[in-house]
Amino acid sequence: MRVLIIEDNPDIAANLGDYLEDHGHTVDFAGDGITGLHLAVVNDFDAIVLDLALPGMDGLEVCKKLREDARKDTPVLMLTARDRLEDKLAGFDTGADDYLVKPFELQEVEARLNVLTSRGRRRVRRELKVGDLVFNLDTLAVTRNDRDIYLNPIGLKLLQCLMEASPNVVSRNDLEMEVWGEEMPDSDSLRVHIHSLRGAIDKPFGSNMIQTRHGIGYRLVESDEVSAKA
């Protein structure tokens, strides 16, 4: 099991890391939230041990960004000295899978990690497919005609929303809510991101899957029989 420990207390991190390594696991470390989030996004860990009170970015924000922005579903065990129910619920709300209050027994940490990773191995591969366009929701890999397509986080969110609704039209408002929530951007932001998405999904392949319904929204279809540019 490859584990990322995001913990700013060097003694706790060292004790936990030594114990896990002695039991055959591979461990990486981060001492602050920003570094921890970066490592969690660019690497494939089996599980993450995440402290709540971290410098730079707290554990709640790290977990939220990991789930919502990076769309990573790596199991997260949150460690904290806070034992109030409200704190535990806040952790679960941001996407934590389990919660352990300090002080803790090292054996219990390993046992909980084993349970979380076992659940992960039983997960069914989640995949969206429209025509020759494939979006793996677990790895965030996107391909069309077996060619890799690289999208930023907003492009991934838009694509998922359009593929899940395909071939139905998704309104501009629904797309904006899916990507930005209540913090709506300026009026041209969605148009700009759709244009960028078209540049990646349609332009290199000579046929258009993303269609505009003027004044309404957008839809994604297998062919470009009624294609229109925004």
Q: Per-residue pLDDT tens for 19-51?
A: 999 999 999 999 999 999 999 999 989 999 999
Q: Please answer whether residues 134 and 128 qualify as being in contact, where contact means their C-beta atoms are separated by less than 8 angstroms.
A: yes
Delineate the domains of the chain, giving CATH numbers in brackets: 2-121 (3.40.50.2300), 127-220 (1.10.10.10)
Terminal Cα-to-Cα distance of the chain (whole angstroms): 47
Say which residue, 64 or 229, is predicted with more confidence: 64
> pLDDT digit string (tens) for 198-208?
999 999 988 89
Query: What phi and psi values does residue 41 have, to the nearest 5 degrees?
Result: -80, -40
Q: Please answer whether residues 60 and 36 qualify as being in contact, where contact means their C-beta atoms are separated by less than 8 angstroms.
A: no
Question: Rounded to whole angstroms, how far apart are CA atoms 116 and 1?
Answer: 11
Q: Residue 62, SS3?
A: helix
Provide, rounded to the nearest whole percent, the portion of the chain with pLDDT above 90: 52
Nearest one of 84, 17, 85, 30 to 59, comparing CA atoms: 30
Q: Has residue 194 got a pLDDT over 90?
A: yes
Q: Residue 51, SS3?
A: strand
Nearest one of 148, 146, 144 to 205, comparing CA atoms: 144
Q: What is the pTM of this model?
A: 0.54
Q: Rounded to 5, what percent of the chain is helix, strand, coil?
A: 40, 20, 35
Q: Has residue 141 got a pLDDT over 50?
A: yes
Q: Please answer whether residues 72 and 40 qualify as being in contact, where contact means their C-beta atoms are separated by less than 8 angstroms.
A: yes
Take residue 125 and report the two structure tokens written for it.
């591969």
Which band of pLDDT confidence, cut at 50, 70 and 90, is reported for residue 228?
A: very low
